[in-house]
Amino acid sequence: MAGLAPLLLGDGRLPVGAYSYSAGLEPAVAAGLTRDRIPALLRARLHTAAVTEAAAAVLALRAAGQDPVDYGPVQQALAARTLTAPLREASTTLGRGVHRLARRPAPDHPAVTALSAIRPRPLRPIAPAALGAVMKVSEEELAHGVVYDALQTIASAALKLLPGDPLDTVAWILAAEPHAAAAVAEALAVRTPADLPARTPPLTE
């Protein structure tokens, strides 16, 4: 499982958003964003929301390794940086999907059962951390998975909202790799919930 786990976290079918959420692309298109501007949007997302979400996921993975598991400080810090109710609602909806998935292979794992203690529900980055703890992924692998999902969410939505050559979306992601690597490095450097960057989608927009 150790070899498959990072691939699973990056799978677009995983219910964290890549096939069900546009990460702000839909309103951006409605406001006039054109296909040629999507690479710039990807870069902006990597330097803002992706860093915050990846750092929160890493902090939650560290919390999952403690006894008892307490996601509360990370959840509260992330909620404080998720500035609007619709964004928090979308994040908890996506988090619920991953929580359901994590309960399938390991319903009694402490990292999974601790998700049920979060009220109202775990935000999106917290739940993949529990799944990562079950699958024994490293902090770096989890951060890469969260950052890659940020790219895939927008790229997948672009195929529906601004149809074009699917190879373009692959090229966009490959071109964004240096920015993705920088986002992962920055996320891994965050040590406490108080240090969580306040870079959320409104900043991108």
Q: What are the domain boundaries of the chain?
A: 34-204
Percentage above 70 pLDDT, the chain? 92
pLDDT tens by residue, 131-157:
999 999 999 999 999 999 889 889 989
pTM of the predicted protein model: 0.92
Q: What is the pLDDT of residues 82-117, one digit of tens each?
A: 888 888 888 898 888 889 888 988 999 999 999 999
Check if CATH label 1.10.4190 holds for domain 34-204.
Answer: yes
DSSP class per residue in the chain? -TTTHHHHHT-TTSTTSTTT--TTHHHHHHTT--GGGHHHHHHHHHHTHHHHHHHHHHHHHHHHTSSS---HHHHHHHHHHS-SHHHHHHHHHHHHHHHHHHHTT-TT-HHHHGGGGSSS---TTHHHHHHHHHHT--HHHHHHHHHHHHHHHHHHHHHHHS---HHHHHHHHHHTHHHHHHHHHHHHH--SGGG-----HHHH-
Residue 192: pLDDT band with limits 50, 70, 90: very high
Residue 8: band (very low, low, confident or very high) from pLDDT cuts 50, 70, 90 = confident
- Digit-coded pLDDT (tens) for 49-60: 999 999 999 999
Task: Give the pLDDT confidence of 16-30 residue by residue, as tens digits.
Answer: 555 567 888 888 899
The mean predicted confidence, pLDDT, of the chain is: 90
